[in-house]
Amino acid sequence: MAFKRTTVTAALPYANGPVHIGHLAGVYVPADIYARYLRLKGRDVVFIGGSDEHGVPVTIRAKKEGITVQDVVDRYHGIIKKSFEDFGISFDIYSRTTSKIHHKFAADFFRKLYDEGKLVEKVEEQYCDAVTGEFLTDRNIVGTCPRCGADGAYGDQCEKCGATLSPSELINPTNKNNPGNPLELRATKNWYLPLGDHQEWLKEWILEGHKEWRSNVYGQCKSWLDMDLQPRAMTRDLDWGIPVPVEGAEGKVLYVWFDAPIGYISNTKELCESNPEKWGTWQQWWQDEETRLVHFIGKDNIVFHCLIFPTMMKAHGGYIMPDNVPSNEFLNLEGNKISTSKNYAVWLNEYLEELPNRQDELRYVLTANAPETKDNDFTWADFQARCNNELVAVYGNFVNRALQLTQKYYEGVVPVPGELTDTDKATLAEFATTKERVEQLLEGFKFREAQKEAMNLARIGNKYIADEEPWKVIKTDPERVKTVIYVSLQLTANLAIAFEPFLPFSSAKLRQMLNMEQFEWEQLGKTDLLPSGKLLAKPSLLFSKIEDDVIKFQMDKLEATIQANAEANYEAAPIKETVAFEDFQKMDIRVGTVLECEAVPKMKKLLKFKLDDGTPQGRTIVSGIHEWYEPEQLVGKQVLFIANLAPRQFKNGLVSEGMILSATDWDGTVGVTTVEHPVKGGSQIS
């Protein structure tokens, strides 16, 4: 059907840390591209976002830092909101679930379901800490995933495979924060949403009515709907969140996955009430059948947005259902999984500080590598290559040539063209058909391909001006150059429109150089966007190269994080089998002074030592520690060695008369063992 307006939502990020590139690629960049495109089309659209501030992660963060939960959410809500603004994510409102308007709206929503008997009150056993007696939320319980076998899966989902879980499904569940404390099941009362009562409707609505959804979304919904849907608790035993508005529910709050999606609606209400003349009523965005609802989410949110939230709205009554839920897969980083808890990520707020004014470069690469159909990988080498070889060498190069030559030959004034050649006409014709191609891809949520089409326009323009060589032709046929520059400028103006949804900062900069105040999507493909005689502004580079030192800095940051995580998670190797004291006494460990040390030819790992071991002849020992030491570093050191080890002969005839003792650190590096104060060579260790 033809819709009058579109409500676009982007998943609410947890306010327990900044936003990283995985969030951007999975949700916020595609959502922003779509919202910007709809605005360019002149369609009625609202783009809703906000912080999810009632999840368990914020309580964990607060406890870890020794501050209040409100302090945590205030801090990260501010960081996230500013990062989105600076990055150009064009929300019409970015609010929060701790707002008064949201608390009341979510509580009223729950109470209506309760009053109408749409919820089931049940007393069931749930996990609690046997020592503290505290009931544990799904997020505080970890164990082995029953689907993929990964350790560290949460009680609500496995971050490795994305499966939605319940704590009872985990293998060997433990308390995440107190792993030493045993868990036990205790009875507690909560209110459940009976998903099974809505199963047949869900099957018809999704499996029959939305076969056009992405295969990952449709497939995950089908796998759930092929099973019997079980009731899902909509309340939790917690002290942080929206209190359950029912007598006898003290100490209980609304389940975060109940209250968070309602935040889309309450944030819309907040926006509409702040400016009703512009936005009208919130009901028209959520309850009018002529409104299209589109949720942008990551794949770990599919079940909640396609099954649970729609069931909530259906049970409540009066709400429209999502028309599409374009969910992306996961983005990895340098071949490894992005992890908030391990600080292994490219954080948006840090990126904006370390690579200032390069928002579009990141937007471009994240879209080019968007994990639309499968998990994808972000690497800094690819980032640099795409920026330098595509944005700079293709798009930027064409624009710079066209504008600089206009400035040089015509003092910045768009020239009057002569008769168009077949080449001119063919080039303009390719641009004229672009609008339809890009439009079809954007309407189908294929943002990666849509941006690729836009970049193909830049390739066409770059090839055109390179083939026509106006800087040469100006000497022999200046009239022809006017036509070439005129055509090039029309292509440049088209690029400013085509890239607007994807690269808003550079598009705005380009339009400024073109003195192109008015623009809209319908103009894309036209060949008279800049009339002859129009004065253009002074040009400047649209993009600049990403230098090697910038990439090295980012790679060094990631490596430092990996090393810090490895050190923090280091566990000593298991103690070997117990030996009798008499067996230990058989080892003769002594101190030797290194008199000489040299590398062993053709054996890269080995060093040959000459030790003063207290005997006239001394001792030769060969040790495989060349990877960590140069020979000259060890001369003069006193090292510990086993003196009564049977000699070992190498293939080259070299004989080692003992073993130098060394310690392997957490990171695999090796250090020889030594003594604190100098002693005589041959001194025994006891």
- 32-70 pLDDT, tens digit per residue, is 999 999 999 999 999 999 999 997 788 888 988 999 999
Q: Which residues contact 140 (CB under 8 A, 6 or more apart)?
A: 56, 60, 155, 175, 176, 177
- Rounded-to-integer distance, Cα 456 and Cα 490, Å: 16
pLDDT band at 403 (very low <50, low <70, confident <90, very high): very high
Across 135-144, 318-327, 637-646, least confident range: 135-144
Q: Which residues contact 409 (CB under 8 A, 6 or more apart)?
A: 415, 470, 474, 481, 485
> Contact, 622 vs 631, CB < 8 A?
no
Return the pLDDT at 569: 80
Instruction: Give the number of other Cβ atoms within 10 Å of residue 139's Cβ.
Output: 19
The sign one gets for the Cα dihedral 266, 270, 275, 281 is positive
pLDDT band at 231 (very low <50, low <70, confident <90, very high): very high
The contacts found for 63-68 with CB under 8 angstroms, 24 or more apart, are 63/177
Helix (H, G, I), strand (E, B) or coil at 21: helix
pLDDT band at 145 (very low <50, low <70, confident <90, very high): very high
- Rounded-to-integer distance, Cα 162 and Cα 301, Å: 9
Q: Which residues contact 681 (CB under 8 A, 6 or more apart)?
A: 591, 592, 593, 611, 612, 613, 614, 638
Closest CA to 407 of 304, 501, 492: 492
Axis crossing angle, helix 309-316 with helix 100-115, rounded to the nearest 10: 70
Tokens read off for 303: 């079940």
pLDDT digits (tens, 9 = 90+) for 91-125: 999 999 999 999 999 999 999 999 999 999 999 88
Is the confidence at residue 162, as pLDDT, over 80?
no
- Rounded-to-integer distance, Cα 97 and Cα 569, Å: 34
Tell me the CA distances in angstroms from 291 to 4, 48, 210, 284, 519, one per residue in order: 6, 14, 17, 7, 26
Tokens read off for 644: 């009564």
Return the pLDDT at 133: 76
Closest CA to 371 of 29, 26, 13: 26
- Rounded-to-integer distance, Cα 267 and Cα 12, Å: 11
pLDDT digits (tens, 9 = 90+) for 238-287: 889 999 999 989 989 999 999 999 999 999 999 999 999 999 999 999 99
Q: What number is the average pLDDT over the span 410-430? A: 95
Is the confidence at residue 161, as pLDDT, over 90?
no
Helix (H, G, I), strand (E, B) or coil at 136: coil
Instruction: Give the number of other Cβ atoms within 10 Å of residue 650's Cβ.
Output: 13
Return the pLDDT at 652: 82
Mean pLDDT of the chain: 94
Q: Strands 5-10, 44-51: parallel, antiparallel or unpaired by DSSP?
A: parallel
Return the pLDDT at 434: 85
Q: Which residues contact 522 (CB under 8 A, 6 or more apart)?
A: 41, 42
pTM for the complete prediction? 0.87
Is the confidence at residue 132, as pLDDT, over 80?
no
Return the pLDDT at 239: 87
